[in-house]
């Protein structure tokens, strides 16, 4: 699909600021006229040949600059159930990055001014969202120790308890990215997305952005979701067993039941910076604005700030000691 403006014929794209379809040529709102893009080889707007990657579902024609969505990659088996439209605009994402760099004290000052943007694109990343019901059953023995003194004797009282726990955890939409290109750990750090903004899939939200369809099936990606659910179940179980000095497990069972799997597109801004002949990639959550990415580290700043902290802490320590000594 290519969204063309009814008024001027320009490319209508989804604007996160206006929360509406917007033609940047004539400033019209919701003036879109969908034109199908069925061919995988040719741009339906200018006829230029397309060089698409294997999993591409939305792209920008390198020749005429029009954003198009490959209809057959977002329909049928590829039809997403849900989409979370971009809420952070291009300008806001850039501002978030700037703030983040300021917070990163070890990043060279020059990075902000010298780094050049070599790539900046909004992309919908394919995710599978898994619903699980986790049934947790635990049986164990816990001991509490109390120590007290009378005269020159020390008494140690050890009490043994039987611990039984049974809980049901209702996991809702545990996200796992279904894109090979996207680094798993980076995608995990992008979380969480606020799911209340999820909408039933509408193709128009993709206009103006890049996208992929799922690279692997939900079945193939399942293990990562189950790992996450299992880990969280374990943590939640441990949180209910408190106040013991030691616990031995007699029986533990965490059983996950799969309820529903949603195929969703979630928004990410991808920025590539060139700085002193190296590329630094940053991801900005297209909904929350959370920034993930490694920035360069200036050794001299690390030394300066760590060294200063050390000297300051020493000064404070010795001054406090000095004051204490004067007081006594």
Partner 1 sequence: MKQYIHYFRFFLIVIAVLLFVFLGLRLLVKNEEFIRMNDQTLTTERVFDYADKLSDEEENALRELIKETERKIGCDIVLVTENKSLKEQADKDRGYEAYIEDYIMIYADNFYDNQIFGFDKPYGDGAIFVDNWFREADGYQYYWFSTSGKVMDRYSNEMIEHMNQVILDGLSVSPYQAYENYVKQLGKDMSAGALSGLSIPSYIIVLVALLITAIYTAVFLIQNNGRKTTVATTYVNGGKPNLNQVQDIFLTKHITTRVIETSSGGGRQGGGGGHISSGGHSHGGGGGRR
Within positions 51 to 70, which residues make up the interface with partner 1, using CB under 8 A?
Answer: none
Question: Which residue of 51, 157, 251, 278 would you call a contact of partner 1, by CB under 8 A?
Answer: 157
Instruction: Record the tokens describing residue 201, joined without a space.
Output: 């899939």
Question: Which residue of 41, 278, 299, 327 would you call a contact of partner 1, by CB under 8 A?
Answer: 327
Count CB neighbours of 106 within 10 A.
Answer: 16
Q: Which of 293, 238, 289, 303 is nearest to 271 (CA)?
A: 293
Nearer to partner 1, 60 or 81 (CB): 81
Instruction: Record the tokens describing residue 79, joined without a space.
Output: 């039809």
Contact partners, residue 104, CB within 8 Å, separation at least 6:
295
Nearer to partner 1, 136 or 206 (CB): 136
Contact partners, residue 211, CB within 8 Å, separation at least 6:
56, 57, 58, 69, 123, 124, 125, 126, 265
Q: Is 223 in the site for partner 1 (CB under 8 A)?
A: no
Question: Which residue of 51, 149, 251, 278 would you call a contact of partner 1, by CB under 8 A?
Answer: 149
Binding mask 120-139 for partner 1 (x = CB under 8 A): --------------x-x---
In angstroms, the Cα distances linking 96 to 227, 283, 293 are 31, 11, 12
Nearer to partner 1, 19 or 146 (CB): 146
Q: Is 161 in the site for partner 1 (CB under 8 A)?
A: yes
Question: Which residue of 51, 76, 113, 162 would you call a contact of partner 1, by CB under 8 A?
Answer: 162
Q: Which helix (H) or strand (E) holds 281?
A: strand 278-285
Q: Is 304 helix (H, G, I), strand (E, B) or coil?
A: helix
Q: Is 192 in the site for partner 1 (CB under 8 A)?
A: yes
Binding mask 80-119 for partner 1 (x = CB under 8 A): ------------------------xxx--x----------
Question: What span, in angstroms and rounded, lies between the C-alpha atoms of 5 and 10?
Answer: 5
Q: Which of 176, 276, 246 is nearest to 217 (CA)?
A: 176
Minimum distance from residue 251 beta carbon to partner 1 (Å): 13
Question: Which residue of 6, 38, 240, 249 would you call a contact of partner 1, by CB under 8 A?
Answer: 240
Nearer to partner 1, 180 or 236 (CB): 236
Question: Which residue of 4, 22, 96, 173 would you call a contact of partner 1, by CB under 8 A?
Answer: 173
Query: Which of positions 260-319 make contact with partner 1 (CB under 8 A)?
Result: 290-295, 297, 302, 304-306, 308-310, 312-319
Question: Which residue of 76, 91, 165, 176 would you call a contact of partner 1, by CB under 8 A?
Answer: 165
Choose one: 60-68, 74-82, 158-166, 216-224; the region binding partner 1 (CB under 8 A): 158-166
CB environment 133-148: b (16+ within 10 A), e (fewer): ebebebebebeeeeee
Count CB neighbours of 306 within 10 A.
Answer: 11
Question: What span, in angstroms and rounded, lies between the C-alpha atoms of 297 and 278?
Answer: 12
Question: What span, in angstroms and rounded, lies between the C-alpha atoms of 316 and 328?
Answer: 18
């Amino acid at each position: 699909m290519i969204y063309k403006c009814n008024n001027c014929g320009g490319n209508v794209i989804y604007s996160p600021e206006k929360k509406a379809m917007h033609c940047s040529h004539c400033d019209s709102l919701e003036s879109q006229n969908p034109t199908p893009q069925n061919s995988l080889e040719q741009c339906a707007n200018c006829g230029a040949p397309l060089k698409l990657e294997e999993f591409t579902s939305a792209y920008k024609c390198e020749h005429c600059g029009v954003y198009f969505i490959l209809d057959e990659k977002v329909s049928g088996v590829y039809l997403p159930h849900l989409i979370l439209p971009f809420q952070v605009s291009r300008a806001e994402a850039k501002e978030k990055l700037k703030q983040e760099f300021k917070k990163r004290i070890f990043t060279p000052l020059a990075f902000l001014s010298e780094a050049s943007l070599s790539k900046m694109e909004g992309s919908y990343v394919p995710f599978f969202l898994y619903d699980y019901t986790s049934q947790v059953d635990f049986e164990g023995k816990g001991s509490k120790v109390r120590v007290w003194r009378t005269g020159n004797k020390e008494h140690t009282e050890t009490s043994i308890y039987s611990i039984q726990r049974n809980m049901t955890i209702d996991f809702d939409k545990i996200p796992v990215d279904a894109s090979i290109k996207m680094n798993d750990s980076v995608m995990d750090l992008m979380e969480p997305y606020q799911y209340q903004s999820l909408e039933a899939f509408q193709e128009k939200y993709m206009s103006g952005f890049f996208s992929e369809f799922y690279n692997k099936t939900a079945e193939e990606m399942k293990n990562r979701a189950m790992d996450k659910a299992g880990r969280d179940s374990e943590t939640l179980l441990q949180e209910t067993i408190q106040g013991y000095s030691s616990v031995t497990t007699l029986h533990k069972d965490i059983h996950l039941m799969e309820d529903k799997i949603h195929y969703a597109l979630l928004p990410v801004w991808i920025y590539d910076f060139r700085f002193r002949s190296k590329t630094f990639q940053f991801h900005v959550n297209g909904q929350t604005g959370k920034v993930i990415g490694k920035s360069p580290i200036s050794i001299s700043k690390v030394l300066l700030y760590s060294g200063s902290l050390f000297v300051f802490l020493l000064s404070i320590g010795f001054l406090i000691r000095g004051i204490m000594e004067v007081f006594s």
